[in-house]
Amino acid sequence: MRLTADGHPSDELLSAYLAEAIEDPAVEAAVSAHLDTCSACREQIAQLHAITTLLAELPAPSLPRSFALTREELERLRPRPWYLRYQPAFRWASAVAAVLLVALLGLDLLTAGPAAREAPGPAADRRALPEPAAATPVAALSAPAEPTAGAEGAGGATPELAPAGKEVPTESIGVMAATPEPAVTTPAPSPAPSPERETAMTSPLRLAAAVVSMVLAVTLVLGFLLPRLAARRFSRTP
Amino acid sequence: MGEHIERPDDALVHAVRSGDLTAFNVLVERYQHAVYAVALRLLRDRFLAEDITQDAFLRAYTALDSYRGGSFRAWLLRIAHNRALDTLRSLQRRPTSSLDLAGADVHAEWSGEPAPASPAEHAARGELRRRIEAALATLPDDQRATVILFDIEGFSYEEIATITGVSLGTVKSRLSRGRARLRALLAVDETSRELLEGFLRQANDGPSERSSGSE
């Protein structure tokens, strides 16, 4: 087997032979056979071997310092649980969910409450309630909605309600969760034959509100409650 | 920390994961020489090498969950090697790198010279080593890293495959090409060739493996 054009194995092939890195056994045998007869290539192998010997005895550099991490560094870098890693995201998500929830509930009140109450008036036509609703059920419905709405004017009530609703979460999340209660439950106990069109219209809103409140609950637990519990557990361990 | 000294790597990793922070520093003590030496030989700059060593241990600590057994030192060196190559590439993109300036002061840093045979012999051997290192610095990064890891630091082919993220075959071929290139570089320089031949004449007095060419 001829190895290269000039009959000698290449530098690289000799090097591979020394490293026992020749894949093909036939090539390895050919190099071995060639080395038995060629002193130049034997010299080359010897040089390669000498280089590896000298590389191995290169003195190790002295360390500029110890790289041991201090206790403070280790504590700070301690692999953190996933809920701590995403804590800011959870907190932002809970804030967004709270605002969204208030907006959805406010919207729900606006479409359910005032729309029904204003039905007899001419202004209510804009609210897309063309069906001539009976006077009595409407009056019954308007009563529970009264405390939150608090606006007598027809169209003017809308802009006033939105900011009023947004202020709720700043006080307390518990209060916020409580306030929508009556609005959600009112249609059920109302004695009058509940207008089905109205519930059909508000249900997507309420579904969204339900989903958002679930998101809010989860993000509150992950963003606030769990980290606090974890902090208490860590502070107890020395 | 004392009770950890004899424990194997994986036991220490387990201890770190279950909250024993001092176990990590046993691993640092164990491998800081290898990490720093590889970083210094790749970058030829003491300050960059120090940065990379520090950074490699910090990363190893925070990413300990991604270590899934095998060779811990290969996993650790992989982090350091990747960081060093990133730094090298960013330096090479800039025309005026600190590499050329830093190369000169590296040699003053080595410690622990091997015992000399005779003063002249020792000087020749030292000079030859210096020339080999200078030649090593001119190799392509992948061949250089492989020669450093295998011939200088004594890692296995398998470990180097893990560290550099290539196949065993690639590791072997990089090593062969790197060594062949080193020899060629020394052979074209008159003084280096004579030093190498002088070294071989001395070595022939003692026993040597596979240098005669037959197995």
Q: Which pLDDT tens digit goes with each residue over B171-187?
A: 999 999 999 999 999 99
Residues of chain B with pLDDT under 50: 97-112, 208-215
Residues A226 and A157 grouped into a single domain: yes
Closest of B141, B213, B139, B152 to residue B182, by C-alpha: B139
Q: Which pLDDT tens digit goes with each residue over A159-190?
A: 444 444 444 444 444 444 444 444 444 444 44
Structural domain harbouring A27: 11-56
Burial B65-95 (b: 16+ CB within 10 A, else e): eebeeebbbbbbbbbbbbbbbebbeebeeee
Mean residue pLDDT across chain A: 70
Outline which parts of chain B fall under CATH 1.10.10.10: 114-205
Q: Does B28 touch chain A (CB under 8 A)?
A: yes
Give the ranges where A118-225 is alpha helix by DSSP (H): 135-149, 157-166, 168-171, 173-178, 180-185, 196-220
Domain B1-111: which topology? Answer: Rna Polymerase Sigma Factor; Chain: A (1.10.1740)
Residue B102's pLDDT is 43
Q: Does B168 touch chain A (CB under 8 A)?
A: no
Q: Which of residues 128-167 of B touch A (CB under 8 A)?
A: 128-129, 132-133, 136, 147, 151-152, 154
Residue A78 belongs to a domain: no
Reduced to 3 states (helix: H, G, I; strand: E, B; else coil), residue B110 is: strand
Q: Which two tokens stand for residue A45?
A: 């192998």
Determine the Cα–Cα distance for residues A141 and A152; give it in Å rounded to an integer.
15
Q: Do A52 and B179 touch (CB under 8 A)?
A: yes
Residue A163 belongs to a domain: yes
Residue B141's pLDDT is 93
Answer yes or no: CATH 3.40.50.970 is held by domain B114-205: no
Q: What is the SS3 assignment for A120-147?
A: CCHHHHHHCCCCCCCHHHHHHHHHHHHH
Q: Does A134 touch chain B (CB under 8 A)?
A: no
Q: Do B200 and A19 touch (CB under 8 A)?
A: no
Q: Do A58 and B133 touch (CB under 8 A)?
A: yes
Determine phi and psi for B97, rounding to 5 degrees: -90, 160
Cβ neighbours for A216, distance < 8 A, ≥ 6 positions apart: A94, A97, A98, A101, A173
ipTM score = 0.83
